[in-house]
């Protein structure tokens, strides 16, 4: 491909395919051909991609843990007017991949950073999972250690937005087990596996259904995974302030639902009907408990 030379001093952030080379964009090829240098997470890995597209641009390795000398070299090259493209092993750089340190330093120097968008596994999964996509939170890889993983999941229990995680094949089972424990086995979720590749599988079920599905076929535990978890059902009582909740729960230890919610309303100024509904929910049933019924 013939390419004009990229403008001076620009850092391009170039997305590359996550499995299907047909997903490489024309603009990505053009930019990789035209820059002075490609900074790659793993130069040996990226050499195959460049070879496939006949790109002969010089490469240097870059990782967020690269020493200051490497980062200084890249910054100096940009300041001298060279253009650089950053790529990762697959998908969009900086999305659970290196690049944040470099991009923030380059921008701090007032230099241009230009995205060349393309594939991202999280977005590809979200686009085809059939799970709410209007609001979502990307959580990247959950912690490898179980205690930290459970703690994270528990902190996200009442998150109403769709939750998007990356996971490796070594931990997919444990991760889904911990999700079932923290979010409840009935929470709907989708596993998007091997996207854009031969064995692409997008499978939705409750978390307990997914636990069984993974265990029933070891092949489903191989490859690369995005896990998408339905957000928590939003409760109409979510906007009751924490202090009113606390007062209500103390009063509920001594009084009926009706008495407790009326008194909590007088003490906190929160509407009685909101507190009444919350008290019923807290009691775990739409009915007042017999011992405290009026
Ligand atoms: N930067 C990449 C992106 O834009 O998606 C993500 C890089 S991260 C190091 C690698 C993780 O992304 C994998 O462990 C997996 O969770 C997810 N992933 C990458 N390719 C995938 C694919 N083809 N199918 C499903 N998940 C994938």
Say if ligand 1 is within 6 A of residue 43 CB.
no
**Ligand 1 pocket test target in 42, 172, 224, 227 with most atoms within 8 Å of CB:** 224
Q: How many alpha carbons lie under 13 Å from residue 151 in its C-beta half-sphere? A: 6
Instruction: Label residue 24 left, alpha or beta by phi (over 0 means left) and psi (-120 to 50 means alpha).
Output: beta
Q: List all residues 6 or more positions away from 178 whose beta carbon is below 8 Å from its beta carbon.
A: 142, 146, 149, 150, 153
**Ligand 1 pocket test target in 120, 163, 166 with most atoms within 8 Å of CB:** 166
Residue 2 confidence class, pLDDT cut points 50, 70, 90: very low
166-221, pLDDT tens digit by residue?
Answer: 999 999 999 999 999 999 999 999 999 999 999 999 999 999 999 999 999 999 99
Res. 133: pLDDT tops 50: yes
Across 68-72, 102-106, 147-151, least confident range: 68-72
The pTM of this model reads 0.83
235 alpha carbon – ligand 1 mean position (Å): 33
When the pLDDT of each residue in the chain is averaged and rounded to a whole number, the result is 92
Atom of ligand 1 nearest to the CA of 141: 16
What local confidence, expressed as pLDDT, does residue 289 receive?
Answer: 41
State whether residue 163 is helix, strand or coil. Answer: strand
Please count the other Cβ atoms lying within 10 Å of the Cβ belonging to residue 285: 9
Residue 1 confidence class, pLDDT cut points 50, 70, 90: very low
137-162, pLDDT tens digit by residue?
Answer: 999 999 999 999 999 999 999 999 99
Say if ligand 1 is within 6 A of residue 29 CB.
no
Tell me if 125 sits within 8 A of 136, measured CB to CB: no
Say if ligand 1 is within 6 A of residue 16 CB.
no
Tell me if 205 sits within 8 A of 131, measured CB to CB: no
């Amino acid at each position: 491909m013939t390419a004009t030379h990229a403008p001076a001093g620009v850092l391009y952030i170039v997305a590359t395919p996550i499995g299907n080379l047909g997903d490489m964009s024309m603009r990505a090829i053009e930019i990789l051909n035209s820059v002075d240098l490609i900074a790659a997470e793993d130069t040996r890995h990226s050499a195959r991609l460049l070879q496939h597209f006949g790109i002969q641009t010089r490469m240097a390795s870059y990782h967020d843990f690269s020493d200051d000398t490497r980062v200084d070299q890249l910054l100096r090259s940009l300041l001298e007017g060279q253009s650089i493209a950053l790529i990762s092993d697959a998908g969009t750089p900086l999305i659970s991949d290196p690049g944040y340190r470099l991009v923030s330093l380059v921008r701090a120097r007032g230099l241009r950073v230009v995205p060349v968008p393309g594939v991202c596994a999280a977005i590809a999964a979200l686009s085809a999972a059939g799970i709410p996509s209007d609001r979502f939170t990307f959580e990247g890889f959950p912690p490898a250690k179980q205690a930290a993983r459970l703690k994270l999941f528990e902190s996200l229990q009442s998150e109403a937005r769709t939750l998007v995680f990356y996971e490796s094949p070594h931990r997919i089972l444990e991760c889904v087990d911990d999700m079932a424990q923290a979010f409840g086995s009935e929470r709907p979720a989708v596993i998007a596996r091997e996207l854009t590749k031969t064995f692409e599988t997008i499978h939705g079920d409750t978390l307990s259904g997914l636990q069984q599905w993974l265990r029933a076929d070891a092949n489903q535990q191989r490859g690369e995974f995005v896990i998408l978890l339905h957000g928590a059902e939003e409760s109409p009582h979510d906007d009751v302030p924490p202090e009113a909740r606390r007062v209500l729960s103390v009063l509920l230890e001594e009084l009926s639902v009706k008495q407790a919610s009326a008194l909590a309303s007088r003490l906190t100024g929160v509407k009685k009907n909101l507190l009444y509904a919350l008290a019923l929910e807290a009691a775990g049933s739409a009915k007042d408990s017999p011992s405290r019924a009026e």
